[in-house]
A and B are shown apart, each in its own frame.
Chain A
C-alpha cells in the first residue's frame, strides 16, 4: 500500500518502513540542528530533547543524521521496497 501527502505532491510512501531513524535521548543536547534541517518537518523539541514527531514526510535524505554532532541520531535504510518513492527525481 502506498500513501501520499497533500503537502508533498508527486511522492508516495510504501508502508512498512518502520523506525529507520532513531534518537538516543541520553546523547541529545537539544541543539535543534535536526529540527532546522528537516524539510519534512519530522522533528520537534520536547522539553530538553529532540523528538521524532513522525517520519511520514521523510524522504530518507539523512540531513538530520549529518548535522547531529552529538551522535544521537542513527539513520539506516528502510527495509527493501518500503519508504518513499518518486517518478520525478
Chain B
C-alpha cells in the first residue's frame, strides 16, 4: 500500500464530505477522494434541497452558513390542458422565514461541505479518480487511483453517485436497471433578482400535463416540467425515465421537444418569463428515482466486508421529489457512525457493518422516501384521463397533502420526536436556522469558500 487510512470516502458530492467530516471529527485518519478538480463541478441537479434534510440532517449544516441560492416557501402546482394553465394549486406554503427547502448550485454547496471535512482534519484529494477496489479474499481493503496508487482503508465509503463504479467492482451491486433511472435535462437562465422576486417570489413551480400536451413525459414516467428559482437565475428542467411503458424512448429528442413545446405555447413562459431571461447553460444527468420501488434494485446490498455505500450510489433517492440530498446526508451520518465504531473496535467485517443496514432501515426518512409511491401513482391517471382526479392527486401528493402523516408528516414527526427526546433545545436550533438562513439570503452573505 502507498498509504493507509482508517476510512476512505470516494466522492465529494453531497454525502461524501459529511461522512468524511464525521470520521475526521472522531479522530480517524480519513481521506476524501474526488474525481473533479473542484468538489461539485461534476454534480448536475436542478436543486431545491427539501427542508427535512436541513432540520434532521447533520447539525453542522443546520448551524452553519452554507451558500444557498433562495429560500423556498411555497410550491405552485399548475395543470396544463389544451395548451393553457387549467388549474393552479397553491396550497403548499409556509410563512417566511420558515421554508420548504433551499435552492442551491451544486459546486459552491459541495465545496462548502468539503471545506468542513478538511477543517475537521480529513485529507481531500481532488482530480483523483478511484478506478478499482483492492480485495483481499472477500474483503475490501482500499482503492486504486487513476495514478496507480494503492490506498488502504479499514472502511471504504462509496459515495460515488448514481453511476457508482466501485460497489460494482467490489461485486456488491450491479448497475441500476434502466426502469429505475430518470434522464433529466435542465436549462440555467440568468434573470435579474428583482424579476425572479416579482415573477416567482420564494416559490418553485411545477407544470403537470397529460401526454397529449407534449410538454413532459407521461405522468409517472418522468419529472414534470419544473422551475427551481435561484437568487438571480432560474432552473427549468424536466425528465424522462430510460424505460417508459416498456420501451427505451427517444429521450434525447423528446426532452428537447417537450421544452420547445412548453416555451412555444405556455403564456406564462412567453409573457412573464421569456422576455426577462438569458440562457447561460444546458446540462443533463441521470438519477435513480425508482430504485427503492423496484424488486431488482430494492434488494441490492448497501454494505459488504470493509465497505459501506451511501446516497445515490445506494439508490437512496426520494422518489416523489426526485431529490437525493437529504438521504445522502442521513446515510452519510449513519455510515460514519458505523465506520467509527468499526475502526475503534478493530472489526470492519460484514457482520460488524450490518448495523449500517439496520440503522438505514430504522431511519425515519430513507426507507419511507425511497419507497414513496406518489409519483408512481400518477401512472394510473394515464388510463383514466380524469381531470378532477388529476387535480385531487396533485393537491394530495404535492400540494397541502404533502404534509399528511402518510406522506412527509409522519417521518417529520418521528424525527422531531426522536431529536427532541435527546435534546429539547434542538427546537431553538431549528428556529435559529430559519432566521439565520433568511438573513444570509437577504444579505447575500455566506461562509467564504476555499475556492474564493
Residues of A in contact with B (beta carbons under 8 Å apart):
7-11, 14, 31, 33, 35-39, 41, 59-63, 65-67, 69, 75-81, 83-89
Contact = CB atoms under 8 A, between A and B. Distances in A.
B257 interface: no
B129 A66 contact: no
B284 A59 contact: yes
Interface in B310-364: none
19 contacts: A8-B281, A9-B279, A31-B248, A36-B251, A37-B183, A59-B283, A61-B163, A63-B183, A65-B175, A66-B286, A77-B35, A77-B165, A80-B36, A80-B128, A80-B145, A86-B41, A86-B44, A86-B283, A88-B188
Contacts of B36: 80-81, 85
Contacts of A75: 163
Nearest to A85: B41
Interface in B121-145: 126-129, 131, 145
Contact of A37 (B43, B145, B177, B242): B242
Contacts of A31: 248
B171 interface: no
B146 A89 contact: no
Contacts of B185: 39
B178 A9 contact: no
B183 A61 contact: yes
Nearest to A34: B248
Contact of B105 (A39, A65, A87): A87
A61 B105 contact: no
Nearest to A10: B281
Interface of B: 35-38, 40-45, 105-107, 126-129, 131, 145-147, 162-163, 165, 175-178, 181, 183, 185, 188, 242-243, 248-253, 255-256, 279-286
Given A67-B178, A86-B41, A10 B286 contact: no
A7 B281 CA distance: 10
A85 B37 contact: yes
Given A75-B163, A77-B129, A11 B283 contact: yes
B165 A14 contact: no
Contact of B252 (A36, A69, A77): A36
A86 B286 contact: no
Nearest to B47: A89
Contacts of B128: 80-81
A28 B201 CA distance: 50
Query: What are the 4 tightest A-B residue pairs by CB atom distance, in nearest-first order?
Result: A10-B281, A81-B127, A89-B44, A80-B127
Contacts of A14: 37
Nearest to B40: A89
Contacts of B127: 80-81
B83 to A, nearest CB: 25
B252 A39 contact: yes
Nearest to A7: B282
A39 B281 CA distance: 14
A12 to B, nearest CB: 9
A33 B248 contact: yes
Given A10-B188, A77-B129, A79-B129, A63 B42 contact: no
